[in-house]
Amino acid sequence: MGTTATPTPIVHIYKEVNIGKYSSVRHFELHNVDNGKPVFEPKVQLAKNRNFAKSSPIFWFTHHKQGKWVKPFITGLFTTPETGIYKGDVNRKRHLTMFSLSDNNTTLTVYFFKEFYTEDEYFLNQLFNKYCA
Q: What is the mean pLDDT of the chain?
A: 88
Conformation bin of residue 50: beta by default, left when phi > 0, alpha when psi is -120 to 50: alpha
The pLDDT of residue 111 is 95
Taking residues 18-45, report their average pLDDT.
92
pTM: 0.89
The pLDDT of residue 1 is 44
Query: For residue 4, what pLDDT band results from cuts at 50, 70 and 90?
Result: low
CA dihedral over 29, 97, 8, 108, signed as positive or negative: positive
